[in-house]
Amino acid sequence: MSSTNKNTKWARRLRYSLILKGMAVGAAVGVVVSLFRYLLMKAEPLRWTLLEYAEQSAGHALLGGLLLAAAFAGACLCLHYAPMAGGSGIPQLKGELIGEIEENWWKTILAKILGGCLCIGAGLALGREGPSIQIGAMAGKGMAQLAGRKKREEKYLMTCGAGAGLACAFGAPLAGTVFVLEELLSTFSIEILLSTWMASMIADFVANVIFGLKPVFALRIEEALPLRYYWMVLVLGILLGVLGVAYNKVTTWMQDLYAKIPNKYVRLALPFLLVVPLALYYPMALGSGHYLVDQAASGMFTVQALLILLAVRFLFSIFSFASGAPGGIFLPLLVLGAVGAGAYATVMTEYCGLMSIYIGTFVMMGMTGLFSAIVRSPITGIILITEMGGDYANFLPLSIVAFTAYVVADLLHGRPVYDQLLDRMLARNRSVK
């Protein structure tokens, strides 16, 4: 047998071996991330119940304050025992894939699940997707280490777990696969593609068994956007590109301010303290804000109300994330894009002849465009929002707004958010050493 045939057979065995291992990782990630997703689904409604309960009397309000303090204490314990569980988790994963960071997989999983539930449930404006990606990657790493696999295969299974984590968190298996190739690796390999795709599909299947087949966002998109409105799509893309650069710059500025506070637990306490006045006067700013996407698409808000909501959530999401709390920015930034685009579409209906039935379409474009401008992964953004919303009729305008926002952010020299977060983390680690 020639060496070429031997190499071909070896490559084929490796490919199918990774696919089988990816399936195993996907099943494990589907269970673990579904548990995390289920706990968050219970935690956020519980917060609203406690807010209503706290309004009844001073004693009830005091009890609510004690529960908030307990959530803060629990989050501090999580960060004490697993420091790498802080923040989104995606910069940590990118750092580990390039050999700069080493995480304890089981500590990170436990701390991320508990800390994420405590922080998001308490009302910090954070999301589940970054933690789900990190949890998935650590599950893949754990399976590789328990099986005694080499470092290279461990990284393969980590990427499988990361894609599966995103797929399970948002019901978006194709987006999970593309995210790994576009954001985590920035390269292409048929072995990674097939194994991650299979892991993402298996994880999504597990999530569908548990949560059902409905899309994550229940937007009612009735028809494709007419071509006469496409100029509005271009303008929206420009605005979102500017907003995305502003978001990343303010995030850096806020992290610089937090860095002046030497104690990480004091830094974490600040957003928890801010929860109290927001709970009293503007509770819509609390939590991941998932429900706000559907409300923005329904046209139930005035332009003024949407702009106020955009400003408050913009600041509080950055204030929450920059503190180092366990939680992601995917979902909060999608909510910002939805609210901002909802305000834009409402203006277009009042002054430029846009039919109100297309507000939901613009909300979807807002999420896609802001994701593209902030994360700088436009293909992932397009596929992610398409899968989450279940709307395949408006793929072209989603692509236009994502590309426009990406180009504007690039021309303004805005850095991708996870790159700047990774650079900051690596610089801090080197200074400690």
pLDDT reading at 60 higher than 80: no
Task: pLDDT band for 163, please (50, 70, 90 cuts).
Answer: very high
Q: How far apart (Å, rounded) are the C-alpha atoms in residues 225 and 345? A: 13
Of the segments 62-71, 108-117, 188-197, which one has the largest average pLDDT value? 108-117
Q: Which of 9-23, 131-145, 185-199, 287-301 has the highest mean pLDDT?
A: 131-145
More confident residue, 267 or 58: 267
Give me the mean pLDDT over the 230-238 stretch.
97
pLDDT of residue 15 exceeding 80, the answer is no
Rounded alpha-carbon distances, angstroms, from residue 121 to 41, 164, 293, 302: 9, 24, 18, 28
* Tokens, residue 78: 């999580």
CA neighbor of 334 nearest in space, from 388, 283, 413? 388
Whether residue 388 contacts residue 331, with contact meaning beta carbons closer than 8 Å, is answered with: no
Which whole number is the average pLDDT over 285-293?
A: 88
| Chain segment 97-107, per-residue pLDDT in tens | 988 889 999 99
Identify the pLDDT of residue 7: 46
**% of the chain beyond a pLDDT of 90:** 65
CA gap 177, 160 in Å, rounded: 8
β-pair partners for 326: 87
Evaluated on CA atoms 409, 410, 414, 417, the torsion sign reads positive
User: Which are the contacts of 172, defined by CB distance < 8 A and separation ≥ 6?
Assistant: 166, 204, 216, 383, 384, 387, 388
Q: What is the pLDDT of residues 339-359, one digit of tens each?
A: 999 999 999 999 999 998 999
Residue 273 has pLDDT above 80, yes or no: yes
Residue 427 has pLDDT above 50, yes or no: yes
| Other CB atoms within 10 Å distance of the CB of residue 120 | 29
Rg, the chain, Cα only: 21
| Domains defined for the chain, CATH in brackets | 3-211 (1.10.3080.10), 227-432 (1.10.3080.10)
Which pair of structure tokens corresponds to residue 135? 């949890």
